[in-house]
Amino acid sequence: MQNLTLPGGLSVRPAMGKDKAFLESLYQSTREDLLVLDASADQKAELIDMQFKAQTQGYGNSYPNAMYFVIEKHMEAIGKATIDFGHNEVHLIDLALTPVARGKGFGAAVIQAFQQAAAMVAAPMTLSVLQNNLQAKALYWKLGFMTDEIQLPYERMIWYPPALRAISF
């Protein structure tokens, strides 16, 4: 992944054991839905921890060859990406940014870098998005993804590298 082209201070590196606390905190920041529950702070923290562990185990079970990355801006962790380089496609399993890093184009830049990687191996790139996540879907459309399949509540989206576009439609 060192060959990926990322703008101004952005980088992607393999996640390591030392990143566990950051990844847990990042996951918590993406679960506003659980923070509004009528429960004590300890109960919410325990529920979020259980959900984080379930997500991690689920990714491992569903995508045993997935690669886990930390996204950094000037050597400071600002997000994570989970990618599975499968036999026929590059699948973006998960992408999350810290609240202060959202809305600044960093996610788009990382996705475009992974699109470059997919193009290098002549494979389409896929992802799934909640159908009601209009902001994310707008970004994916802007980056050239198209809806491929709908399995409520998700949409599977696909992007074809230029070399495959002529033969994919």
Taking 90 as the threshold, does the pLDDT of residue 56 lie above it?
Answer: no
What's the mean pLDDT in 44-52? 80
Q: How would you write the chain as a 3-class SS string? A: CCCCCCCCCEEEEECCHHHHHHHHHHHHHCCHHHHCCCCCHHHHHHHHHHHHHHHHHHHHHHCCCCEEEEEEECCEEEEEEEEEECCCCEEEEEEEECHHHCCCCHHHHHHHHHHHHHHHCCCCEEEEEECCCHHHHHHHHHCCCEEEEEECCEEEEEECCHHHHHHHC
Question: How many residues are there in the chain?
Answer: 169
Position 22 in a domain: no
What's the mean pLDDT in 89-101? 96
Q: Which domain holds residue 119?
A: 10-14+65-168
pTM here?
0.87
pLDDT digits (tens, 9 = 90+) for 7-27: 889 999 999 999 999 999 999
Q: How many domains does the chain have?
A: 1
Position 28 in a domain: no
Taking 80 as the threshold, does the pLDDT of residue 97 lie above it?
Answer: yes
Taking 70 as the threshold, does the pLDDT of residue 2 lie above it?
Answer: no
When pLDDT is cut at 50, 70 and 90, the band that residue 103 belongs to is: very high
The chain-wide mean pLDDT, for the chain, equals 90
Position 46 in a domain: no
pLDDT at 167: 65
Taking 70 as the threshold, does the pLDDT of residue 168 lie above it?
Answer: no
